[in-house]
Each structure stands twice: as structure tokens, then as C-alpha cells.
A and B are shown apart, each in its own frame.
Chain A
Amino acid sequence: MLIRVDPARPDSLQDQVAAAVRRGIAEGQVTAGDRLPPARELAQSLDVSIHTVLAGYQKLRDEGLIELRRGRGAVVRAGAHAGRTGVAELVRGLVVEARRHGIGDDELVELVRTAL
């Protein structure tokens, strides 16, 4: 799986790590049961702090895309199919766009709720 991050981009490095993994899942570069690179090795490889990678992985865990287990590392979950990953990616784009237009977080949640 290819992970590209760029400190010159406006979004945080941890978000970029999470986005790269999401893309990897969506494109089928990694599938359910596959192990992601260990956080320590990926951090070393990308020349970023291990906390950055862990924060990115935790974000993916909260989205239900991966499992984090002590000793086993990060593993792609069975439910993490392309469709769900695509929606997660769209939501992330929505948040970025909302913030760019000065829409507050609570206001955005409200907007989403009215659309449901």
C-alpha cells in the first residue's frame, strides 16, 4: 500500500495518513485481514512522529475500518469494504469544505441531519 503525505498541504499529517489508508482500502491495495505497516516502521519510513501515525490509525479505528490490537498491530476489518470507505472519504471532504466556508462543527452536523 502506498502512503503519501506532504507537510506543505493544509490538512494535518495524521489526516493525510488516514486518508492514504482509506484510499488503499477503497482501491483494494489492502483487503480485510491484511496488516497495515507497524506504526513505528511507517513513522520511520515517512520521517514523521510515531504519534502522528498512531493518531491516523486511531481515526481509522473510530471509523470502523481497522482494528488496533496490542501485539497484532493494525488489521483491516472485515466490514471495511470499498463502499463504506468511499462514504468515510466523502464525509472527510465534507468537513474540510465546511470549515473552509466558516461553517461551525455543530452547524454542519445540523445540516447533515436535515438532509437525512
Chain B
Amino acid sequence: MSARVRRILRAAVPPVVAAVPAVVVLVRGWSRLPETVASHFTLDGAVDGTSGRVVLVVLAVGAPLLLALVFGGIASAPAARRGRFDSTRAMTSTSWATGTLVGGLALLVVLANLDAVDPRAVVLSGPGVLGVLAATLGAGLLGWWLTPASPLLPVDAGSAPVLHLGETERASWTGRSHSRMLAAMGALMVPVGLVIGLLLTWVAGATLLAAGLLLVWSCVVTVTVDRAGLTVGWGPFGLPLVRVPLADVAEAHVEDVVPLGYGGWGLRLQPGTVAVVLRAGPGLVVTRRSGRTLVVTVDGAETGAGLLNGLRDRAC
């Protein structure tokens, strides 16, 4: 079994396993459940919301499968870390903990509703909730302990080309990068959001729908290098997201970006570094005069870095 398959299984299987007890009780006790069940509880275990029985299927089957899909998808990316923070390990640990929490709560909710006459009178077991919270903590720690540490990336292995410019020459470079992963996740969230919004609660549905549309919108960035410096544009219309003025450019080079090395995809803010990560592969790295860096994944990064270095040399 390859390291990649092991990583995916380690992240995707626990939410499914943790859901097994709830699913077993749900299947065996289906006829003992009332048509309307208690589905939402206050912090002290009293009921403050009811739904149709199908909500228990969503809770016990749908939610764990979604967790497995999302965490398995993230884990399919190569594991790497730049500093002490290990994204793959933290992500796997989160999957174990979240899976246990969801599976445990689903079990408690199904058990509480068995043979209930009045769904409003159902009470969630207090010791049960404490037990689930303890198991969540334990699963998180176990997940962390069972995941091997990710390899540490070399600090600087990038090449720094220089494109020489004539005295009166003017140059402009535009590069793009897009993320199939963000587009696919967004495209998946839109219909799921619609279904949840129409069938269950419109608040969660609308949130998912909006997040899905935002992801689809964000799946492309445009990078421009010219006399003004470097500009990262966001979305199809290239709204300015980050800008490094030419006078602030110390050096530009190309790096083979491993997304989890920066904590994942999207706009990642880390100490001393801003990273715009849409995919794995070549990225343009700009070091500012202050020593802070900007990383952006983009096709043809080498040309962009070369032009930025050339413009800087000529301006000096």
C-alpha cells in the first residue's frame, strides 16, 4: 500500500467507523422511532427543535460520509511541512476527533428518541454527552499519535532567473493558475446546499450554497508583473488581492509548492509569509525588503520571477 493510500485511509476511515454504532441502532430501531424526532438540543440536554425521522439518517450516515470525503480528499495531497506546524497530522487528528464527535452525538440522539411518545420531552443523556466529549479528545490524540510526522521541506531550493531589460524597454507579464480541487469542492457544495436548504434548514443550506459559490469564484487567480511590481488578482475579474510594489521587491524565485507545506489551499497567512495556493507545482516567491515573503502558485512562474528580478535590477 502506497504512502498516499495510507494517508487517505487514515483520514477518511475513522469518521465512517465512528458512525457504525449509530447506524446499527438506527437500522434496528427504525420502527421504534416516532415520525417526528427531537433533533436539536440546548446545552443542558433539553429539546429546542424537532424534525422528520430522515434527519437522523442525515446525521448518522450523511455527515460521516461527507467528513470522510472532505478529509480523504485533503489527505490525498502530498504531506509536507515548512516549520513546526504539521498540517497533515493536525488534519488527520481533526478528522478522528470530528468523526468521533459526530458519530457519538448521532448515537446519543438516536438512543434518546427510541420509543419516545412526545419528541419535546426527550432528554439527551448527560453522562453520554460527557463520554462522547472524552472520546472525541481521546480520538484526536490517538489520530495525532498514529500519524507519522510529515517530511520537512528544504528551506530554499528555488531557482532565481533574471530577465535583462533594455533601458527604454517596457514589459508586462500575466500568468494564471486555477484549482480543479476548489472548483470541484465548490461545485459539490452548491447542490448539497440547495438540497439541505430546501429539505432541512434554510440557514445551513444558504451558508453551504454561498460558500460553494465563493469557492467556485475563487478557483482562479491572475498574477501580473510590470513596472508597478507584482499584483495578484482574485476571481474571474482579477480583483486586486495582494500587491508588492516594485520598490519593495528584494528578490523573486520559483519554488515547487506543496500545498500542505503552507497549511493547505486558498489564501494562507503564516508568520512572515502570505501564500496564495491554488494547486501543487511551480509557484512564484517574492521576498520583500522587510524579509517577509509572498508565495503564489502560477503557470509560467519562471518568466514572472525573471521579469520581476529584471525590473528590480533596472530600477536600482
Question: Chain B: interface residue count, which band?
Answer: 10 to 19
- Of A2, A41, A47, A48, which is in contact with the most chain B CB atoms at under 10 Å from its CB? A2
Contact across chains for B173 and A1 when beta carbons are under 8 A apart: yes
- Of B170, B224, B227, B300, which is in contact with the most chain A CB atoms at under 10 Å from its CB? B170
Chain A residues with a Cβ under 8 A of chain B: 1-8, 29, 37, 41-42, 45-48
The 22 sampled A-B contact pairs (Cβ below 8 Å) are A1-B173, A1-B174, A2-B173, A3-B173, A4-B165, A4-B169, A4-B170, A5-B171, A6-B168, A7-B170, A8-B166, A8-B168, A29-B303, A37-B172, A37-B174, A41-B224, A42-B174, A45-B172, A45-B224, A45-B226, A47-B170, A48-B170
Q: Which residue on chain A has the smallest CB distance to residue B169?
A: A6
Which chain A residues border B169 with CB–CB below 8 Å?
4-6, 8
Contact across chains for B168 and A4 when beta carbons are under 8 A apart: no
Contact across chains for B300 and A3 when beta carbons are under 8 A apart: no
Task: Given the known inter-chain contacts A2-B173, A2-B307, please indicate yes or no for A45 contacting B227, CB distance below 8 A.
Answer: yes
CB distance from B245 to the nearest CB of A (A): 14
Q: Which residue on chain A has the smallest CB distance to residue B163?
A: A2
Which of A3, A6, A8, A29 is within 8 Å of B172, CB to CB? A3
Task: Given the known inter-chain contacts A8-B166, A29-B300, please indicate yes or no for A3 contacting B227, CB distance below 8 A.
Answer: no
Which chain B residues border A6 with CB–CB below 8 Å?
166, 168-170
Taking CB atoms and an 8 Å cut-off, the chain B residues in 271-302 that contact chain A are 300
Q: Which residue on chain A has the smallest CB distance to residue B233?
A: A41
Contact across chains for B168 and A42 when beta carbons are under 8 A apart: no
**Given the complex of chains A and B, what is the CA–CA distance between A6 and B303 in angstroms?**
18
- Of B173, B175, B238, B303, which is in contact with the most chain A CB atoms at under 10 Å from its CB? B173
Which chain B residues border A37 with CB–CB below 8 Å?
172, 174, 224
Which chain A residues border B307 with CB–CB below 8 Å?
2
Contact across chains for A46 and B168 when beta carbons are under 8 A apart: no
Question: Binary interface profile of B, 193-237, with partner A (CB < 8 Å = 1, else 0)?
Answer: 000000000000000000000000000000010111000000000
**Given the complex of chains A and B, what is the CA–CA distance between A45 and B300 in angstroms?**
18
Q: Which 6 A-B pairs have the closest CB atoms?
A: A45-B172, A45-B226, A6-B169, A4-B171, A8-B168, A2-B173
Contact across chains for B226 and A46 when beta carbons are under 8 A apart: yes
